Amino acid sequence: MLKRITALGLAILGLMLKSCIPDGLKNGYYIEDKQVFHYHGFPANRNVIKQADYKSFKIINTEYGKDKTQVYYYGRVIPKADPTSFEFLASAYSRDKHYGFSRDEIISNDGAHFSIVPNPDQKPGNVLPEVVVYVRDRQKVYRDVVPVEGADPATFEFVPMFNGNYLARDQYHVYWQDRPLEGVDGKSFAKVSEFHFKDKTRAWTLSLGREIGWKPFEGVDLATFEGFKQVYAKDKNRVYYEDRIVAGADLASFEELENHQAKDKNGMYQSGRKQ
């Protein structure tokens, strides 16, 4: 009984606090004077949703809401969306039993199989707007409203990257910022470090000079090729910084530090060069 009273009290307190928020600071959907309003911006613009049924209206989040007949995105009706089966997925994506949506636009006719491609670096329920999110159905992979050309949805997966850059692969290709990399085998592709990768035939490095680009480099023993942390890698014979051999590096004692630095029993290294 005490728990029920406490929960009821907290709910009432929450409603009281919500009702005390100045209009200019509100964000999302509010039911006021038997009407549904959406507040957005700062100071917030207040827009009445005239077609919404306030009695059955349910708030999904600040962007999405629904009533017994329609689904809304920022107060706009999402065409053909079924409120009974509608669910928000992540980022700009949602679905119902018929369709997959990006914001208020239908992008897939296979709602039952429309789902987020898991990102190993992203915690569930914590997708920020700037985080790259892919979705797929049985036929295509999408980012925003655009299909990723040539992507195989059954095997498409994220390859976790750093600093907002994004990489993905399927059984055929590797995709850098949604474009397939020429000459890279998707099926055997593997991440070695944040800047080093390999497939069945060669090693690759991601160069961050004036232009970001991929470089293959030769002479690497692929069976023993492995990374340290971010920018250094090694095989049974050498240590590498990007696609360069770190001259004089001792394999047994080599250790990557921060900010492109490293050390071994022979001394310190900066960006792959002995100090």
156-214 confidence digits (pLDDT tens): 998 877 666 688 999 999 998 889 998 899 999 999 998 899 999 999 998 876 677 78
Assess whether 94 and 54 both reside in one domain: no
Per-residue pLDDT tens for 94-118? 999 999 999 999 999 999 999 999 8
Residue 67 falls inside a structural domain: no
Of 186, 210, 229, the last residue of a domain is 186
pLDDT exceeds 90 at position 122: no
* pTM of structure: 0.78
- Assigned domain for 220 exists: yes
**pLDDT, mean of residues 231-259:** 95
Residues 219 and 164 both lie in one domain = no
Q: Is residue 73 part of a domain?
A: no
> What is the reported pLDDT for 19?
57
Beta-carbon contacts of 182 under 8 Å, excluding residues fewer than 6 positions away, are none
Reported as a single tens digit per residue, the pLDDT across 23-74 is: 889 999 999 999 999 999 999 999 999 999 999 999 999 999 999 999 999 9
More confident residue, 215 or 55: 55
Answer whether residue 252 is part of any domain.
yes
Q: 174 and 236 share a domain?
A: no
Cα–Cα distance, 12 to 120 (Å, whole number) = 39
Is 199 contained in some domain? yes
**What's the domain count of the chain?**
3
Residue span of the structural domain in which 47 resides: 7-60
* Co-location of 82 and 181 in the same domain: yes
- State whether 165 and 175 are in the same domain: yes
Structure tokens at 262: 């490293």
Tokens 């991440």 belong to residue:
191
Please check whether residues 170 and 196 belong to one and the same domain. Answer: no
Q: Is residue 39 domain-shared with residue 90, that is, in the same domain?
A: no
Q: Pick from 173, 142, 170, 175: which is nearest to 157 by CA? A: 170
142 occurs within a structural domain: yes
Are both 96 and 170 inside the same structural domain?
yes
Domain boundary among 142, 166, 186: 186
Domain boundary residue, one of 160, 186, 212: 186
Distance CA 88, CA 85 (A): 10
Say if residues 93 and 102 touch (Cβ distance below 8 Å). Answer: yes
In a domain, 65, yes or no: no
